[in-house]
Amino acid sequence: MVTIATFHGGLKENIIPASAEFTLNVRTFDPAIRKKVLASLRRIISAEAAASGAPEPTIEVLSQFPRNYNNPEATAAVMDEFKRELGEDSVVEVEPMMGSEDFGALAQAIDVPSVFWMFGGHPAEVMEGDGPVPVNHSPFFAPVMEPTLSTGVKAAVTALASRVGK
């Protein structure tokens, strides 16, 4: 997934800007695919500049994170603990999502298995409504304070307690 996150060029509609700048966010599940996508983007950006007679663009990597990989064994163990502590009906496994997350760097830095989880925080009317449910990083994301905060603390303590000493 490629997101054009920002675009800045010019100050007035009737003046051709001397330069323009944009930022992209690239998300993939597979590092090999990521490498291909990044190479393709570089080719496309350079070709577009050449086709319009513009100078060769400057392409700068602002940040890059390893994939966020949930270790299957650790995930199963933590999910069992969540079900025990929070209740079977409160724990749901979801399909992998395309996110822009630096959590994967933590486990990779110290070479330990990781488990990344999310928890709900929207009122029932948002969850049961017709529209999409806003996710974090959305300007419409607005979880309710309680029980979101208490559940998050309980989940974190449960996960930590299940791993301490193992």
87 with 140, same domain: the answer is yes
pLDDT band per the 50, 70, 90 thresholds, residue 166: low
76 with 154, same domain: the answer is yes
Write down the pLDDT at residue 104: 83
Write down the pLDDT at residue 14: 94
Distance from C-alpha of 92 to C-alpha of 121, rounded to nearest angstrom = 14
95 with 156, same domain: the answer is yes
The yes-or-no verdict on residue 85 having pLDDT over 90 is: yes
The yes-or-no verdict on residue 50 having pLDDT over 90 is: yes
Neighbours of 70 (CB within 10 A): 19
Distance from C-alpha of 33 to C-alpha of 35, rounded to nearest angstrom = 5
Report if residue 102 sits inside a domain.
yes
The predicted model gives 90-118 an average pLDDT of: 85
Please, which residues have CB within 8 angstroms of residue 121's CB and are 6 or more apart in sequence? 143, 144, 148, 151
Report if residue 97 sits inside a domain.
yes
113 with 145, same domain: the answer is yes
Give CA angle at 119 (162, 4), nearest 5°: 125
154 with 80, same domain: the answer is yes
The yes-or-no verdict on residue 98 having pLDDT over 80 is: no
77 with 120, same domain: the answer is yes
Q: Residue 108: which domain range?
A: 72-163
Q: Give the model confidence (pLDDT) of 30-44 as tens digits.
A: 889 999 999 999 999
Long-range CB contact pairs, 18-25, < 8 A, 24+: 23/62, 25/100
**SS3 of residue 130 by DSSP:** coil
Number of folded domains in the chain? 2
Q: Which residue has the higher pLDDT, 118 or 79?
A: 79
Neighbours of 14 (CB within 10 A): 5
The pTM of the full predicted model, rounded to 2 decimals, is 0.71
Report if residue 15 sits inside a domain.
yes
130 with 82, same domain: the answer is yes
